[in-house]
Structure 1
Amino acid sequence: MTAMAHEPLSQEEVLLEGFLALDTPEGFRAELIEGEIVVAPPPDGDHEDYIGLIVEQVHLHSRTRMQFAGTKGLILRSGGSCPKDRVIPDGTFAPRELRLYRGADSWMPCDGVAMVLEVTSTKPKADREVKRRCYARAGIPFYLLVDRDIAQVTVFSEPKEDDYREHCARPFGKPITLPEPFAFELDTADLL
């Protein structure tokens, strides 16, 4: 009996296997974004404070009861020959009735996620451009970007292909509307 020949792994499969085998230091996040492995250091206190303030408002005011996850990685559809993007947003929101986070391991599909949240940190360009493209390609309805460098909050909506067709930006201190299923004005005064 002869041994069956194994198909050689494609470059994308090798990249994904290498990525999944990474052992990053505690607090660091490794992501696979548009075919590149990106490692980010732990966030600072202001970064975490902004996330907490937004999560609190969503839980208090959202028309639809939402669940939040801050460490759950998302497997996103990608473009071209790249492997699927694996991104860890600063936060994801999903309608509670879906119970998306239940039973999922550290990486889950993005189907059902209503909004992703990113707060800029050491690589703001990635949040402003690269991750925005990834989330749009994946069809995530809303992307909430808190840009600390320019003191601005932006809601991106209507994903189509590699970008969002609509966006609304407000400076810190001005309220910004989170559309359905959230349906409330996010107060950004505490971000000043």
Structure 2
Amino acid sequence: MNISQAADRLSRELPCHRVEILQGRLTATPHADGTHALILTRLITTFHAAGARQAGLKYLQAIGLWLPTGPDDFAIPDFSLVAADFQNSHVENNCYAPTSFRMVVEVTWSHWSDDLGTKAECYAQAGIPVYLVADRRHDEAVLHTDPTEAHTAPARPSSAARPSPSPNPSASPSNSPLTASSTGTKAEPAEPFPGHVTFRHTFE
């Protein structure tokens, strides 16, 4: 049995868990609590009020994101902002190419270290323009931007405890979360996010 088959089996045996393969490692996250759900609901209402659909975007929960970090790697972000035609970029196993994603959000729960570290690396290598972590453990919101600008940055986890630079305001328009076009081509690996800024916030 390979890791992809093991993930399928685990999904069937643990229906209330979110099963992912991150950097060749199989993970299963248990069903989250009410605060987690409330944060996601606020994101939906915020993006609706901001006119995301009018800008040619859609916002979704728990949609599969195919990752370039391994042959079977995929993630299921808590919240994603995607191109309106994202369904044209289907890869396999209900996962879609990272080129359709404009922003992903994770709300920390039991596997908070994956959200802060491993997924920051995975999403940067996938070329996701914006990655936001609602870090409930440390009462912080961690914003990662400009993944393709860091051509010389070493591969390392992003930590909410480390001082971080502000996002680059002169980033290429192709990295903007409001760019609505997409393709079905799998993204080439990029270096980790150079833009990394942390905000204090209490989630409730």
TM-score, normalised on structure 1?
A: 0.74
Question: Shift of the alpha carbon at 1:95?
Answer: 3.3
User: Does 2:116 correspond to 1:132?
Assistant: no
Q: Give distance in 2, aligned partners of 1:24 and 1:130.
A: 25
- Is contact 1:16–1:83 with CA below 8 Å preserved after alignment? no
The SS at the match of 2:121 is: helix
Partner residue in 2 for 1:47: 36
User: Does 2:62 correspond to 1:71?
Assistant: yes
Partner residue in 2 for 1:146: 134
Q: Give distance in 2, aligned partners of 1:52 and 1:24.
A: 28
Q: Give distance in 2, aligned partners of 1:102 and 1:71.
A: 18
Residues 64-99 of structure 1: CA deviation (Å, up to 9, x unaligned): 343112121111111xxx424211110110133xx2
User: Does 2:107 correspond to 1:116?
Assistant: no
Residue 168 to residue 62, structure 1, CA distance change in 2 (3 Å): farther
Partner residue in 2 for 1:58: 47
Q: Which fold has the larger relative contact order, with Cα–Cα distance below 8 Å and residues 6 or more apart in sequence?
A: 2
Query: Where has structure 1 moved over 6 Å in runs of 4 or more?
Result: none
Q: Give distance in 2, aligned partners of 1:170 and 1:62.
A: 24
Residue 84 to residue 162, structure 1, CA distance change in 2 (3 Å): farther
Letter in structure 2 aligned against 1:163: P
Written as runs of structure 1 = structure 2, the 5 A alignment for 1:1-192 is 14-22=2-10, 23-62=12-51, 64-78=55-69, 82-96=70-84, 99-101=85-87, 104=90, 106-160=94-148, 161-172=190-201, 191-192=203-204
Partner residue in 1 for 2:171: none
Letter in structure 2 aligned against 1:116: V
Residue 24 to residue 108, structure 1, CA distance change in 2 (3 Å): farther
Letter in structure 1 aligned against 2:144: F
TM-score, normalised on structure 2?
A: 0.70
Which deviates the most, 157-166 or 110-119?
Answer: 157-166
Q: Give distance in 1, aligned partners of 2:200 and 2:138.
A: 8
The SS at the match of 1:67 is: strand
- CA RMSD for the aligned pairs? 2.2
Which has more radius of gyration? 1
Structure 1 unaligned runs (5+)? 1-12, 174-190
Letter in structure 2 aligned against 1:40: T
- Is contact 1:58–1:66 with CA below 8 Å preserved after alignment? no
Q: Give distance in 2, aligned partners of 1:85 and 1:46.
A: 28
Higher strand share: 1
Question: Shift of the alpha carbon at 1:24?
Answer: 3.7
- Identity over aligned pairs, percent: 23
Structure 2 unaligned runs (5+)? 149-189
